[in-house]
Structure 1
Amino acid sequence: MRVSVADLQRRLAVLNKCGKAAGTVRPRWKQVARAVSWPLAAALALGWGGTAGAQTSDLVSQTELRVCADPANLPLSDKAGAGYENRLADLVAARLERPVAYTWYPMATGFVRNTLRANLCDVIMGYAQGHELVLNTNHYMTSAYTLIVPGSSGLSDVKTLADPKLKGKRIGIIAGSPPASHMARNGLIAAAKPYHLMVDRRHESPALDMLSDLEQGEIDAAILWGPIGGPLVKQGHPDFKVTPLIAETLPPRLVFRITMGVRQGEKVWQRRLNSLIRRNKDDINDLLQTAGVPLLNDMGTAPYGEE
């Protein structure tokens, strides 16, 4: 039999009167009150109110693939659908046999809060594994930060930021990104050129600016997250060489597994996407490699397919 919140409150009041009338049972009343009031408070906090609440997975649309995305974040996504995450969303939607519907918001502070957590969309196409703001699916790619240099330069064979050839070189770096710690350790920060980390890419594009500066000789090398730098080099700078920084042995890590992000608690939706990722792994890899993403093996120790 279901007991309402009001009934529980009345029973608590009766117990309270009994406890006051008989001082000898007061210690026992405290135990009972604690045992009853905690689940009652939890029920009120969750909004049950004596009735069954909705499961979080009920928030996921059954008619559309509702994607949270940045409207001006090429090569990943944009409103015109030109990014490879747009194409990944198309692939997922096709397998689910439903159309894609976007909620657009700049990939900056408040992105998850104002999109996924606001229940305006159901999935973020690319999210680093292990981040507590979302529930991660299984990863669909592993990649790394990369060193980008002109192919004809004397830096084309550099594979680690500890290489002496980088001493005194002007290196472009996104301020606050993990490779900056490695540069500081190796004495490369003094000559570095920093670029902004958190920007509205409708008005500013640090990655494009950095590669333009490299093209013009303003800097000697660029360090960019591979899934951004690789595709941009393929599209506009074919003479540049992109080297994943997988030889670093000290923290912080520069290799990351990328997942799709869903709302915390949505295990049914997570499992469905996990199954889709597993069954379509080859198609997803082809899509990413065609875009120019430098894919690595699962451990991040070698280029994908060269284990």
Structure 2
Amino acid sequence: MAIRGRGLRQGAAALAAALALMLAGGAWAQTSDLVVRSELRVCADPANLPFSNDKGEGFENKLADLLGKALNVPVTYFWFPQATGFIRNTLGAKACDIVMGYAQGDELVLNTNHYYASAYALITRADSELASVETLSDPRLQGKKIGVVAGTPPATNLAINGLMGNVRPFQLMVDRRFFSPARDMVSQIASKELDAGILWGPIGGYYAKQSSEPLKVTPLMKETQGPHMAFRITMGVRQSDGEWKRQLNRLIREHQSEINAILQSYGVPLVETD
């Protein structure tokens, strides 16, 4: 009985402290006890443009700045490479409270509402006969040299359409501090080493926008076979942080036009999804 009584007294003290915190903390006080209220703690890759880097040059860095300003708190980062164990070592380790970009439906995180949708895109030279191609079943792609990142969904669609014979694969997992397969692919399209390439839209759009050679970025929204090419992108929080998720949903809704402007400034192709 003594143990239970001591536990009750401790519980009452904890409840009083929690109530005081709620009264003092305003909107932040409604979030999970795991969420730090004095700063926006972001998990991000330090070398993953156009999304993020440790110089704050990515569009997810700019989106974090937007949220920090809306919450009136500073933005801080916990850096970790986008590789196996990313969520376990960041959100899961309570080192931060948000991942700025995460595909909707992944069970490792609790997803906010999506703040943009994009798709894998076909990249060609603007003056190429392939510039008007909208689907990988187009016969004009037969016999063409096409770049694709190995292991991504478009590789399956290329195989379905009998296009793998002339495909040039690019590595998926590399140290992006030193290598950029996407930049290399776009450079080879511009120099005519490749006739076309397929990249995740935000990546392809970013590097195409930087090219001195005019390039065309066409989201693959008309595929009728193989994996889906379009995905909704959310912010990810811990499964226990439901109130934090709802607060972020409100901020996304209130600042959607500003979010869109940031994405478009980086060349991100925005699409509508069902």
Interval of TM-score (by shorter of Structure 1 and Structure 2): 0.7 to 0.9
Aligned pairs for 1:234-273 (under 5 A) are 234-237=209-212, 239-273=214-248
* Alpha-carbon distance between aligned partners in 1 of 2:141 and 2:237, rounded to the nearest angstrom: 40
Residue matched to 2:72:
97
Q: Percent identity?
A: 57
* Alpha-carbon distance between aligned partners in 2 of 1:134 and 1:193, rounded to the nearest angstrom: 34
SS in 2 for 1:60: coil
SS in 2 for 1:256: strand
TM-score by length of 1: 0.78
Pairwise CA RMSD: 2.2
SS in 1 for 2:78: strand
Match for residue 46 of structure 2 among 71, 83, 101? 71
Aligned pairs for 1:165-244 (under 5 A) are 165-237=140-212, 239-244=214-219
* Alpha-carbon distance between aligned partners in 1 of 2:239 and 2:193, rounded to the nearest angstrom: 44
* Alpha-carbon distance between aligned partners in 1 of 2:92 and 2:211, rounded to the nearest angstrom: 36
Residue matched to 1:109:
84
Residues 1:282 and 2:249 are matched in the alignment:
no
Residues 1:60 and 2:38 are matched in the alignment:
no
* Alpha-carbon distance between aligned partners in 1 of 2:179 and 2:62, rounded to the nearest angstrom: 23
Change (3 A) 1:2 1:182: farther
Task: Give the total of aligned pairs.
Answer: 254
* Alpha-carbon distance between aligned partners in 1 of 2:47 and 2:93, rounded to the nearest angstrom: 21
* Alpha-carbon distance between aligned partners in 1 of 2:75 and 2:212, rounded to the nearest angstrom: 31
* Alpha-carbon distance between aligned partners in 2 of 1:3 and 1:257, rounded to the nearest angstrom: 51
Residue matched to 1:39:
none
Question: Displacement of 1:250 after TM fit?
Answer: 2.0
Change (3 A) 1:2 1:61: farther
* Alpha-carbon distance between aligned partners in 2 of 1:185 and 1:259, rounded to the nearest angstrom: 30
Counterpart of 1:187, as a letter, is G
Q: Deviations over 1:82-132 (max 9, x none)?
A: 111110000011001001000111111111111111111111111000011
SS in 2 for 1:282: helix
Residue matched to 1:87:
62
Counterpart of 1:92, as a letter, is L
Residue matched to 1:7:
none
Task: Report if aligned partners of 1:56, 1:265 keep a CA contact under 8 Å in 2.
Answer: no
Task: Report if aligned partners of 1:151, 1:239 keep a CA contact under 8 Å in 2.
Answer: yes
Aligned pairs for 1:122-201 (under 5 A) are 122-201=97-176
Give the structure with higher Rg (CA).
Answer: 1
* Alpha-carbon distance between aligned partners in 1 of 2:74 and 2:213, rounded to the nearest angstrom: 35
TM-score by length of 2: 0.88
Question: Displacement of 1:200 after TM fit?
Answer: 2.1
Counterpart of 2:219, as a letter, is P
Which structure exhibits the higher relative contact order, with contacts defined as CA atoms closer than 8 Å and separated by 6 or more residues?
A: 2
Q: Which runs of 5+ in 1 are unaligned?
A: 5-47, 300-307
Residue matched to 2:96:
121
Change (3 A) 1:211 1:3: same
Question: Displacement of 1:136 after TM fit?
Answer: 0.4
Residue matched to 2:23:
none
* Alpha-carbon distance between aligned partners in 1 of 2:3 and 2:133, rounded to the nearest angstrom: 69
Task: Report if aligned partners of 2:100, 2:236 keep a CA contact under 8 Å in 1.
Answer: yes
SS in 1 for 2:32: helix
